[in-house]
Structure 1
Amino acid sequence: MTPAARTQAAIELLDEIIVAARDSGAAADTIVARYFANRRYAGSKDRRAVRELVYAAIRTLGERPRSGRAAMLALAAEDPALAETFDGVGHGPARIGDGESKAWPGVAPNWLLERLRASGLDEGEFPALIDRAPLDVRVNRARAEDVAIDGAVAIAGLPDGLRLPTGTDVDRLEGIPDGALEVQDAGSQIVTLAADARPGQRIVDLCAGAGGKTLALAAEMHGEGTILATDTDRNRLARLAPRAERAGVDGVETRLLNPGRESEMLADWAASADCVLIDAPCSGTGTWRRNPEARWRLSPERLDRLVATQQHVLAVGAELVRPGGAMVYIVCSLLDEEGAGQVAAFLADHAGWHGEPLRLPAGRAHGAGMRLTPAHDATDGFFVARLTRG
């Protein structure tokens, strides 16, 4: 592919991604993979170059652009070499017209920036929200006591956490036993520590998804005790059992729940869990480094629906905690309506519950819990609180 053809390919992909973001369609990675599956003539260098253009545009533009061309024009305005590829020759994009409008760079849509400011996030931290994320892993000691990886750096406060060099292909590392590494951001590992999981406990991972935090909890319990991992998403939950087997994890039960019937389907666990961990569905404002197109998908209406879902899962989780037990609430969001505000509302409505001080290896106190941010902690953004039932 010529440089101009690569630019046109990026424009076409961005057009599809913009529509998908507006209509809650396929993720950008899926769209890119499908695009090249139908264009076998594109070599690996072409695919890499086009992908880099696409994601450069997504990271650069906080507001969802009106078109892929407007998005690429924003990049071209800062890159003369890219602007030259708008030559109208062959498969290249048409020449740039006099006064042709382009999309404007930004960290996020204005309404979201206002919400972040209202949540106490300093504007100096905004640029880090869309930086490229590092590659972190958790070492599974059940499969490997010692792991040697060139360029890996230990993560402070996480004896099993490693930060790998950018571009490392974890699946192709030599000399690493199968199941010895789980890709998991340092922030995700840190907030899971709030559960203080111990051998012999009964723990519910209420929104387990594919089980990243479930496996981390199991590692802390050393195979002693019981973890019930639940979710309402069949496809995500189905990935947990194979991961647990690969990691050599025992004592994990999975249970698919029907939305709206969670309490009924968890009646056998009522008031009996030592800890309920809730990694609640959220806006993902703390994970834009890994999923920058999420800024184009979020709307005030969708945020309101997520907040309502969080209130629901908190109520469900509270019914499962034994007297003296705890509920750990986690969101990968930096918005207070999903984090500190959500917990404050819960505590106001539930007598006998109180927030417990946390001592984690990163983060700062925020409301009744702690908040981690990319700029301050070099992790994804999280809010976590540990609530104890009296």
Structure 2
Amino acid sequence: MTPAARCSAAIEVLSDIAERRRPAADALKDWGLGHRFAGSGDRAAIASLVYDALRRRASAAWIMDSDSPRAILIGSLRLQQGLAAPTIAALFTGDRFAPAPLSAAEQARLGEATLSDAPPAIAGDAPDWVLPALAAILGEDLLPELRALARRAPLDIRINALKQTRADALTALGHLNAEPTPHAPDGLRIPIGADGRGPALHVEPEFLDGWYEIQDEGSQLASRLSGAIPGETIVDLCAGGGGKTLALAALTGNAGRLIATDGDPRRLAPIHERLRRAGARAEVRTPRAGRARVDVLTDLDGSVDRVVVDAPCTGTGTWRRNPDAKWRLRPGSLATRLSEQATVLDRAAALVRPKGRIAYITCSLLPEENDGAIAGLLERTGKAFAVIPAERVVAEISPALAPVVRFTRHGLQMSPGLTGTDGFYLATLERRG
């Protein structure tokens, strides 16, 4: 497919997303099934165009004075890819499979419109109803952070210390042109192309041999800051597919008892193969599906050294990777997540022994899901728990992080603008003896 034909396809997918209010991944999958002539490179390029347009949906609509899928794509080509008006016009010629030529009004908007007088929700490409909460944590950095959230995310991997050192992996993976991640000691960053596409890491021999997992540097740091050490009994309470379970196994050198579970048994499906490939040891406890669900952790109540809670959240910190999610986020979704967070924190509280700890993690920037969730647990449990200051946690585990995280009342916040990672939050609590 020509670049112009890819633009036409992207407009078609964006129209499907807007009309049917469906996730971008679903719309892209259906487009690919209906256009089997498109190769993998074409599909990847179209996906990049779609996701870039969604990243800049509000600002692109502002400069083009239209929120149509065509206008949003045109605006994003200028804002996200930095294409000049003549270059964009060369893609919109109306020839064969190319989109219709730019109108006089579209050409004028490309040449004259700016974001200089756009409100923060437009200039930062975010739902306006979340801005007060984001401003509370980001302060004067609100707009720079929102702009960072609208950029493409880097491609990071975590070298599996159970099988390989980062130094040796860096040499062996030289063909990927990897560089060490700025902060995570086991991370490597893989360059991505101008189209946002990276190498197919999941088919590399080293991946199949368990040398590495694809994991954002922020997630790697959150796992490390959980404080897990060899010899502990650790519960990964919201393990999902097992990304942090694998990281915890590597951090403890498989020396200890690691239990992984999740409230949704379907999410645990990939963990078994991932553990096998990584050489990681963990006991997976899968709850029975359906209404007659039984708590699979009751035998551990009051005896666990450390509970890692990678809590369900709105995912506002991952908007770089899931830009359509921010436009589908509603206040009701936040209320649901807050209820779920309270439930998993209460379950974690019952598991830890005296002097045991809870590491609470989200990939959110919203204070309600972070400090607010911790404040809720403290209120519900009286004086049973104390917050371990995040400054102390960082000083003990990763002191070099101190200048590049935001310390909050109860924890710490990573962000793309400050840390260069997704927006992860971490707080540590200890049950009083």
TM-score, normalising length: structure 2: 0.80
Distance apart, 1:18 and its partner CA: 2.9
Distance apart, 1:283 and its partner CA: 0.9
Are residues 138 and 89 of structure 1, via their aligned partners in 2, closer, same or farther at CA, if it must alter by over 3 Å?
A: closer
User: Which residue in 1 is equivalent to 2:7?
Assistant: 7
- Please tell me whether residue 158 in structure 1 is matched to residue 188 in structure 2: no
Alignment of 1:275-314 (within 5 A): 275-314=306-345
Task: State whether residues 263 and 316 of structure 1, in contact with CA within 8 Å, keep that contact through their aligned partners in structure 2.
Answer: no
Task: Return 5+ residue gaps in structure 1 as ranges.
Answer: none
Q: Which residue identity does 2:264 align to in structure 1?
A: D
Q: Which residue identity does 1:82 align to in structure 2?
A: I
- Structure 2 counterpart of 1:200, from 227, 231, 255: 231
Distance apart, 1:184 and its partner CA: 1.0
Moved more, 274-283 or 9-18: 9-18
- Please tell me whether residue 28 in structure 1 is matched to residue 70 in structure 2: no
User: Which residue in 2 is equivalent to 1:136?
Assistant: 156
Distance apart, 1:309 and its partner CA: 1.0
Are residues 163 and 86 of structure 1, via their aligned partners in 2, closer, same or farther at CA, if it must alter by over 3 Å?
A: closer
User: Which residue in 2 is equivalent to 1:226?
Assistant: 257
- Structure 2 counterpart of 1:369, from 411, 417, 425: 411
> For 1:310-341, what per-residue CA distance to the aligned partner results, in whole angstroms no more than 9, with x for missing partners?
11111111111111101111010011001112
Alignment of 1:108-123 (within 5 A): 108-121=126-139, 122-123=141-142
Greater fraction of residues in helix: 2
Task: State whether residues 162 and 278 of structure 2, in contact with CA within 8 Å, keep that contact through their aligned partners in structure 1.
Answer: yes
Are residues 160 and 52 of structure 1, via their aligned partners in 2, closer, same or farther at CA, if it must alter by over 3 Å?
A: closer
- Structure 1 counterpart of 2:425, from 367, 383, 387: 383
How far apart, CA to CA, are the structure 2 residues paired with 1:282 and 1:328? 15
Task: State whether residues 274 and 326 of structure 1, in contact with CA within 8 Å, keep that contact through their aligned partners in structure 2.
Answer: yes
Distance apart, 1:106 and its partner CA: 4.4
- Please tell me whether residue 326 in structure 1 is matched to residue 326 in structure 2: no
> For 1:263-283, what per-residue CA distance to the aligned partner results, in whole angstroms no more than 9, with x for missing partners?
844211111111111101111
How far apart, CA to CA, are the structure 2 residues paired with 1:245 and 1:110? 44
User: Which residue in 1 is equivalent to 2:17?
Assistant: 17
How far apart, CA to CA, are the structure 2 residues paired with 1:343 and 1:97? 53
Alignment of 1:60-71 (within 5 A): 60-62=56-58, 67-71=68-72
- Structure 1 counterpart of 2:273, from 224, 227, 242: 242
How far apart, CA to CA, are the structure 1 residues paired with 2:182 and 2:293? 38
User: 1:274 aligns to what SS in structure 2?
Assistant: strand
Are residues 187 and 144 of structure 1, via their aligned partners in 2, closer, same or farther at CA, if it must alter by over 3 Å?
A: same
How far apart, CA to CA, are the structure 2 residues paired with 1:51 and 1:157? 29
Q: Which residue identity does 1:55 align to in structure 2?
A: Y
Are residues 385 and 210 of structure 1, via their aligned partners in 2, closer, same or farther at CA, if it must alter by over 3 Å?
A: same
Distance apart, 1:87 and its partner CA: 4.9
Distance apart, 1:259 and its partner CA: 8.7
User: Which residue in 2 is equivalent to 1:72?
Assistant: 73
User: 2:379 aligns to what SS in structure 1?
Assistant: helix
> For 1:67-113, what per-residue CA distance to the aligned partner results, in whole angstroms no more than 9, with x for missing partners?
423422434677444345555555444556676899x7642121122
> For 1:34-53, what per-residue CA distance to the aligned partner results, in whole angstroms no more than 9, with x for missing partners?
31233122345543443332
Task: State whether residues 63 and 108 of structure 1, in contact with CA within 8 Å, keep that contact through their aligned partners in structure 2.
Answer: no
Q: Which residue identity does 1:276 align to in structure 2?
A: V
Task: State whether residues 354 and 388 of structure 1, in contact with CA within 8 Å, keep that contact through their aligned partners in structure 2.
Answer: yes
How far apart, CA to CA, are the structure 2 residues paired with 1:4 and 1:125? 32
Structure with the bigger RCO (C-alpha within 8 Å, sep 6+) is 1
Task: State whether residues 374 and 381 of structure 1, in contact with CA within 8 Å, keep that contact through their aligned partners in structure 2.
Answer: yes
TM-score, normalising length: structure 1: 0.88
User: 2:230 aligns to what SS in structure 1?
Assistant: coil
Task: State whether residues 74 and 105 of structure 1, in contact with CA within 8 Å, keep that contact through their aligned partners in structure 2.
Answer: no
Task: State whether residues 153 and 320 of structure 2, in contact with CA within 8 Å, keep that contact through their aligned partners in structure 1.
Answer: yes
Task: State whether residues 142 and 247 of structure 1, in contact with CA within 8 Å, keep that contact through their aligned partners in structure 2.
Answer: yes
* CA RMSD across the alignment: 2.9
Task: Return 5+ residue gaps in structure 2 as ranges.
Answer: 62-66, 80-84, 111-121, 193-197
Q: Which residue identity does 1:6 align to in structure 2?
A: R
What count of residue pairs does the alignment treat as equivalent?
386
How far apart, CA to CA, are the structure 2 residues paired with 1:356 and 1:257? 35
How far apart, CA to CA, are the structure 2 residues paired with 1:136 and 1:8? 31
Are residues 98 and 77 of structure 1, via their aligned partners in 2, closer, same or farther at CA, if it must alter by over 3 Å?
A: farther
> For 1:155-206, what per-residue CA distance to the aligned partner results, in whole angstroms no more than 9, with x for missing partners?
3553322222222432354667710111111111111123221222111111
How far apart, CA to CA, are the structure 1 residues paired with 2:279 and 2:78? 52
User: Which residue in 2 is equivalent to 1:353?
Assistant: 385
Distance apart, 1:118 and its partner CA: 2.5
Are residues 229 and 7 of structure 1, via their aligned partners in 2, closer, same or farther at CA, if it must alter by over 3 Å?
A: same
User: Which residue in 1 is equivalent to 2:64?
Assistant: none
Task: State whether residues 333 and 381 of structure 1, in contact with CA within 8 Å, keep that contact through their aligned partners in structure 2.
Answer: yes
Task: State whether residues 265 and 289 of structure 2, in contact with CA within 8 Å, keep that contact through their aligned partners in structure 1.
Answer: no
Are residues 287 and 175 of structure 1, via their aligned partners in 2, closer, same or farther at CA, if it must alter by over 3 Å?
A: closer
> For 1:227-277, what per-residue CA distance to the aligned partner results, in whole angstroms no more than 9, with x for missing partners?
111112233201001100011112332323669988844211111111111
Task: State whether residues 119 and 334 of structure 1, in contact with CA within 8 Å, keep that contact through their aligned partners in structure 2.
Answer: yes
Distance apart, 1:140 and its partner CA: 1.1
User: Which residue in 1 is equivalent to 2:33?
Assistant: 37
User: Which residue in 2 is equivalent to 1:266?
Assistant: 297
- Structure 2 counterpart of 1:211, from 226, 230, 242: 242
